[in-house]
Each structure stands twice: as C-alpha cells, then as structure tokens.
Amino acid sequence: MPEKSITWPDSKAFWKDRRVIVTGGAGFLGSHLVEKLAERGAAEIIVPKIEDYNLVDIADITRLYDSALGKAYAKDAANLVVIHLAALAGGIGANRARPADFFYINLMMGVQLMHEAWKRGVGKFVAIGTICAYPKFTPLPFKEKNLWDGYPEETNAPYGLAKKMLLVQAQAYREQYGFNAIYPLPVNLYGPRDNFDPETSHVIPAMIRKCIEAQGRGDERIVLWGDGSPTREFLYVEDAAEGILLATERYNDSQPFNLGSGMEISIKDLAELIQRLTGYQGQIVWDTSKPNGQPRRALDVSRAEKLFGFRARMPFEEGLRRTIVWYRQRAAG
C-alpha cells in the first residue's frame, strides 16, 4: 500500500496569536528568520538588541522576559515562543584564539534563557545547536544517534560542547517538567548577510572575500588554510530559517534533528568553485601548517524530512552566486 501523505498544520494559523522572542534576530540567520516570521503573520516579534541586553547576564535575561511577559501578557505565556539563535561563533582561527569565551558565553546564554523560560511557563523553546557538537570521527553521513560517540574536533570543541549542553537541558526539562524544548542541528550556513569579517568569518565568506579582494588588487595568488582535503556540507540561510520555523510549527519531541542540504563538497572543490564564480584568475596556495578542522562533514537529513517535512531547496551554485552578488554590492556601497 502507498504511504499515507501527511497533512501539516497551516503556518499562518500557528503563528496568528503567538509572540516570538528571537535572540540573535538582528544577525545573519536571525534576520532571515524574522522576515519569514513576519510573512507568516506572527502576532509580535521581539528581537533583543545586543546594545540593550547582555544575554550572559541573568539580570538582563530576567528583564527581557519581564518585558515580553508584562502584566498584559503574563497569562498568555503559553503563546510565547523563544527561538534562541544568538551565539558567539566563528571559524577555526576565532575558536582557537578564544576557546574560553566560546565555551562560557554560549553555555551561559542558552542555559539561563531556557531555565527562565521554563520558570515563566513559556510555550516553546527552540535551542539552536551546531554541527560542531558531533564527534571528530563521526561515521558518514552524520546521524543524530552518533552525537555521543566521541569528543568533538579539538579546534571548536569548547563551542560545540557548550551548545550540546542545551540538548541535555532540553531533554531533561522535557522529562522532568514536560517543558517543550526542541534542538535543531544546522550544518554550516551561507548566504546574503553572512559575516565577512576576515578574523571571524566561516569558510565560504572568507573565500569569497579573499578572491574578490585579490581580484581587485591584481594579486597573483591567495593563501587558504589546510590542504583542501576536508569535506563540508552547507545550507543556504533561507532554507535554514524555513527548517527552523517548520520544526517550531510541527515538531514537539526530545530527539535532536539535523538541518542540512545532504550535499558534501571538499574544501578544495569549494575554493575552485568560488574562484570560478568570482572570476578570480590567480593561483590558490594551501598553507598546510594551518589546521584542517574536522576531516569530513555530511549529514543524514532524513529525520527532519520525516518528522516535519523539511527539505533544502536552494541549489548550491545558485546560492553561492547570490551570496557573491550580495557581497559585491555591499563592498561597492
């Protein structure tokens, strides 16, 4: 017999009476997610700005919830959703330079935000995890059941473990209190509005910037870290935002779930693709004195499709083109 098709609830109906706190809502992923929330008709979207709230400080976390759940809304805490995107994140260099910061800031933000949400009866908490939580030598493709099979890759282990504790917390609070917290594991993201800072950016924006700046200067070569052999999987930022919102609407359980594209590419092939798409004619030189990071990353994305119907839509080359166009426009402006 053919499988019975699933009828999913209407997105706009889900968000109609819901107020949403999006930490990190002014950032890369957050800005796209906030736009999609507005399109879905969320009743109110609250984006705590870093200038107003230090989310490592319990006093500021308390003030945020007190503001969001003032007297007029206190009785409606069950209709408040918290999507916790805020994080201190960066590439290998940033993680190696500030391991204590990457551990403490990410741990304290998430643990306190979730605890205070439970205390106030918040209806749902979405704790965004990271692919860096997986063991260094996870069998491919990464399956959620392998999360605890070893220690993460050393260069970003403090970050990965801090974020992984939110999974422990979410599961413990669901078991003891019935608190509705879910834990997505997004793979490396890319797209317009990404962080192109040379000190803290991830691999795709770093390569795009290097190629475009070298092209502008007429440089004959660019230098990239490692030997190009590691593989990565990338998810376009708008696909990631859609996956998070679909999970928020449709999924209420303790199992973590991967959010990815299901496509693996080597860093060498990625560099050559970005070189072609930017039109840079120089040579790529690999600095093998620098670390490679985790040897391979590719996700099993079947759980997300099965549990709440998510599948990435953006073709990788098209997503890269859009990212390059956005960066060129920004650099020119």
Indicate which residues carry an active-site annotation: 159
A 10 A CB-CB count for 329 gives: 10
> How far apart, in whole angstroms, are the C-alpha atoms of residue 34 and residue 14?
15
> Which tokens go with 190?
């890319």
> What count of other Cβ atoms lies within 10 Å of the Cβ of residue 103?
19
Give the DSSP H/E element, type plus range, for residue 34. Answer: helix 28-40
Reading across the β-sheet that carries 19-23, which strands appear in turn? 44-46, 19-23, 80-84, 124-127, 181-182
Q: What are the residues whose beta carbons fall under 8 Å from the beta carbon of 297, sequence distance 6 or more?
A: 131, 134, 142, 187, 188, 230, 231, 232, 233, 264
Angle between helices 267-278 and 203-217 (to 10 degrees): 40
Region of residue 228 (phi > 0: left; psi between -120 and 50: alpha; otherwise: beta): left
Q: What is the Cα–Cα distance from 222 to 287, expressed in whole angstroms?
A: 10
Strands 124-127 and 80-84: parallel
259, 186 contact by CB (below 8 A): yes
As a whole number of angstroms, the distance between CA 201 and CA 207 comes to 9
Q: What residues form DSSP beta bridges with 184?
A: 257
Look up residue 327 and give its two tokens: 């960066």
Q: 314 near 239, Cβ under 8 Å?
A: yes
Task: Write down how long the chain is.
Answer: 333
